[in-house]
Structure formats: structure tokens, C-alpha cells
Structure 1
Amino acid sequence: MSTSRLLADSLAPLIDFVFPPRCPACGGGVAQQGGLCAGCWEGLVIPGEPGCAACQRPFGEGGPGAGAICAPCLAQPPRHDGIAAGTLYTDVSRQLVLAFKHGRRIALAPMLARLIAARLSAADPDRLIVPVPLHRWRLWRRGFNQAALLARELQQLGHGGLCVDALVRAKPTPALGGLGKKARARALSGAIALNPRRANLIDGRDIVLVDDVLTSGATTDSCVRALKRGGAARVTIACFARVLDEALDV
């Protein structure tokens, strides 16, 4: 056992006494720091099978079998090569994201990343893990890139090498929520690009693109486009929570 691990274990009782363990989603008491209460664990929805062969959108029981493609992917084939979502976006996952990103509970990163890792294919050290970038102004205000924290945890879990600055956000973008498809495209036009200093790492690689929440997919699609233009062989999107309201009713 490492020295840091021994120190953490020895200080755990003191930390628990000063800061009693609380569920980061609801605030209820839990057995250990960073854990969820039983009720909140039940509130997480893990995407199940069967699902779309292109984007892993769950079909629900009685849906099409293996290899089927969902209607959105048939209408507009995605640029990416699959989506590995740890959970679907529910009230519980929303509270976890808010606590992690805006509440600065960065200690949640290992738990969120483990849920993502469970949805990825077998660990592969030859893959390259790339976080969705923040513009420098937003990074300065927030103090951290939540996607980069998740990417670092996935690296430690053996899912590939990490390159935190493979992509750059050249200009700030507004919140995309509520914008139509054309408005989102205009907002992201020229915003995300491949970092020329890292271009040699991208060509021919299998890449895991990491973000905390996948909503419309406009931002990740812009990232995938930049990576594929840089020669990436495959790009899988990995996120903690995916917004698929229709899938919650199946």
C-alpha cells in the first residue's frame, strides 16, 4: 500500500468526525466519504441493453435486437463511433453534476469516472483519452475543467493515455441550452480545434472523448469533427450523464 493511501486511511476517522459523510446528491448521512445513500443509488438509471449499435441509445425491453440502429442515427449517421454513458440524466445524476461542477466537489470525480468506465469496452492502454476543452476564461473562473478531471480518472483506471490539451476552445461560447440546431452550429463554428502541438498524437488513434454531460451532442460533435480531421481512427464519446428523456419511459 502506498504512503499516501496509508496516510489517507489513518486520517479518515478524524475527517469523518469533523466532516460527517453526507450523500452528495441529497445530503443524507452515508457510511463513507464520497458515497451515495441507498435511495440515490436507486435514483441513478444505467443505460441498458438492447441499444442502438451506433450510439447505444437504449431501446428498452421488447425493442430491436443486436445490431439495430435507432431512428435518429438512421436519419443522420453520427460522426462518432459510439457513446459510453455512465447514467441517464435524472434528478440524482443532475445533483451529482451540480455538486461536482458548480459545487466544486471535485472529490466526486473517481466515483463518476468508475460509472463511465463500466460502460466502456475493456481497458486499453493504447487508446488516447481527450477531454472536451474549456475556454481559458471559463477555466480561469471555475478553476478546473471537470471533463479533464474525469479523463484523468479514466487514465488511472487503465483506459488509455491522457492528453488534456489535444483540443482547444479558441473562442468562448454561450450556453447552448434552448438554442436550435442552426443557432448551436453558429455558436460553435470555429470554436473548437485540434491543438497543432498535439497533432502527431491523434493520427490513426482510437480516442475516448470525455465530458460530464451529453445533451444535444453539438459540442461533442464539434470535437469529434476536429479529431477526425486530425486523422483519428475512432472516437468514442464517454460521459457521466446523457440526456435522453424518452429513454426514461421505456
Structure 2
Amino acid sequence: MIEAEISTEVRQAVSWRSRLRALAGGLADLALPPQCLACQRTTASHGGLCPACWGELRLIEKPFCPRLAIPFAYDLGPEAVSAEAIADPPPFDRMRAVACFDGVARALVHGLKYRDRTELARWIGGWMARSAVEVLAEADVVVPVPLHRWRLWRRRFNQSAVLARELARTATVPFAPAALQRVRATAQQVGLSATERDRNVRGAFRVPPASRAEIAGKRVVLVDDVYTTGATTRAATRALIRSGATAVDVVVFARVVRGAD
């Protein structure tokens, strides 16, 4: 009898907590109506895109190249890789990306990166985690592409680290934000050719001695916001492999795809 009364009280307490949460959420919606993450139009719920922006977001879904996340026009078979991956094989094993880097994806990245909209990381990181389920399932550690300390000081946060933390939290994989360092200040990659980008980041990354135990013998997921020519990602991957990583997979929110515009 006493147990039944306690059980009833517990159910009532849970019910009241649920009602209070729903009420708090409703009041929050009145104070701050849900908005599209990209264009700020009013939406039905928080953390989404309006129908127009969803329609413009170019998702990278199967079939795509498993090495470089380049979408295929049609299914070429489970072992098929892109011509780019054959001509210039990347040092990492696999890449996963949510979308092509244009339009809405660019607006989201720029909002996070340049306009201090750090609240976007929760939603962008969630999309990245869903796009990389099988990669994260095999991961031993999640590592962000780092900024040089001077650029970090100017920008105040590293967008790749914020996204990597969200992936690690979602997938319950250890997060190692300091396992990779950018030891040389580099010029902005924007506007540089592919050759210039490679030269710009050559030798720019290293795993500090204190962090080698976090990398050696581990399968690493390297996280960045955007993959353009791949110069930064490749340089960072090589530094991880030199320090004993058994394999590196890459997860980004968006990647440049030629002909996607």
C-alpha cells in the first residue's frame, strides 16, 4: 500500500515537472519566437530551418564518395570512389559532410564563424553527428582543427572546437581539444590557389608531447567546419598520423563541390 502511494506521488511529481517544462518552453517561445537558423524567419520550433531554406540546403546524401564525401549523380556501387580520390588519395580514411558549401550552408557557417552565433553549434553539430554515425561509432577520440593562438585571441573562440565538442558529446566519444596544435601562424586561406594553400599550411600542425598518448594507437575523428581544397585537413591529418594515430576520419559541416552551384 505504501509502495503504491509512493509510486503515485512519483508519477504526479514527474507529471508536474513535465507540465512546468512545457509551460516554461511556451513562455520562452512567446518571449523569443522560434526563428530559422539561416534567415531568421519565424518557424514552428526552435533549431530548424524554414521551408525555403530547407529547400535550398544541398544535403550530401548517398550515393557519395566515402573518401571525400563528393556526391555521385547515380549509385556506382558500394566500393566506388570519386575520380578525385583516385587521382590524389587523401591521407585520411573517410570524410562525412552534411551539405555542399553554398547558399544556406554558407550563411550558417558564416553566422557561427564571423558573427559569434555560437548557439548554431548545437544544431550544426547535431546534423554533423547524424551524417557521421558509422564513423563516430568507430572513433576513439574527437579532435578539432586548431586555430593559431593569435587568431584564437582575435576571434575569441574556435568554431571547429565548438562543433567537435558537440559531436563528442552526442556520440559519447572522448574529446581532446588540445591534442593538435597549430604551431605556425598562417595566412588566411581565402583567395589562395590550391598550391598556395598547401604551401601555406605545410608544417603548421603538430601533436604536443603531452598529448601523444591521446593520439597514439587511436582512431581519430578530425572535425572542421568547411572542407575547401583540403590543404588544412590534409596537413592536420599528417601531423596526427606522424604522432601514431592508426587512422583519421574527417567530419565537416559543409564541403565545396565543383559544379554544385
> Is 1:20 aligned to 2:33, yes or no?
yes
1:5-16 maps to which residues of 2 (within 5 A)? 11-16=24-29
SS at match of 1:157: helix
Aligned counterparts of 1:171 and 1:8: Cα–Cα separation in 2: 48
Q: State the 1:9 CA deviation.
A: 6.1
Deviations 1:128-169 (A, max 9, x none): 000000111111122111111111111111252100011111
Q: Offset at 1:53?
A: 3.9
Note closer, same or farther for the CA distance 1:51–1:34 as it changes in structure 2 (3 Å cut). Answer: closer
| Deviation, structure 1 residue 202 | 0.8
Q: Which of the numbers 68, 75, 78 marks the counterpart of 2:87?
A: 75
Pair 1:50-2:40 in alignment: no
- Name the CA distance, whole Å, in 2 between partners of 1:188 and 1:48: 30
For 2:76 and 2:28, how far apart are their aligned partners in 1?
A: 50
The separation in 2 between residues aligned to 1:9 and 1:133, in whole angstroms, is 39
For residues 236 and 144 of structure 1, the distance between their equivalents in structure 2, rounded to whole angstroms, comes to 23
The alpha carbon displacement at 1:110 in A equals 1.6
CA distance in 2, matches of 1:58, 1:211: 19
Aligned to 1:161: 174
Query: Which of the pair is proportionally richer in helix?
Result: 2
Overall identity of the aligned pairs, in %: 39
How far residue 7 of structure 1 moved from its aligned partner, in angstroms, is: 9.0
* Match in the other structure for 2:257: 244
Q: Which residue of 2 aligns with 1:89?
A: 101
Number of positions where the alignment pairs a residue of Structure 1 with one of Structure 2: 244
1:32 aligns with 2:45: yes
- Unpaired runs of 5+ residues, structure 1, are none
Amino acid at match of 2:67: A
Q: Which of 1 and 2 has greater Rg?
A: 2
Q: How does 1:149-228 map to 2 (within 5 A)?
A: 149-158=162-171, 160-228=173-241
* Mapped contact 1:87–1:240 kept (Cα < 8 A): yes
Classify 1:208/1:8 alpha carbon distance in 2 versus 1 (closer, same or farther; 3 Å). Answer: farther
The answer to whether the 8 A contact 1:128-1:206 is kept is yes
Q: Decide which moves more: 196-205 or 120-129.
A: 120-129
**Residue 134 of structure 1 pairs with residue 138 of structure 2:** no
8 Å CA contact 1:206–1:232 kept in 2: the answer is yes
CA distance in 1, matches of 2:157, 2:22: 26
Pick one of 98, 110, 130 that aligns with 2:110.
98
Kindly provide the amino acid, as one letter, of the partner of residue 30 in structure 1: T
TM-score in terms of structure 2 length? 0.85
Question: In the alignment, residue 81 of structure 1 is paired with which amino acid?
Answer: D
TM-score (norm 1): 0.89
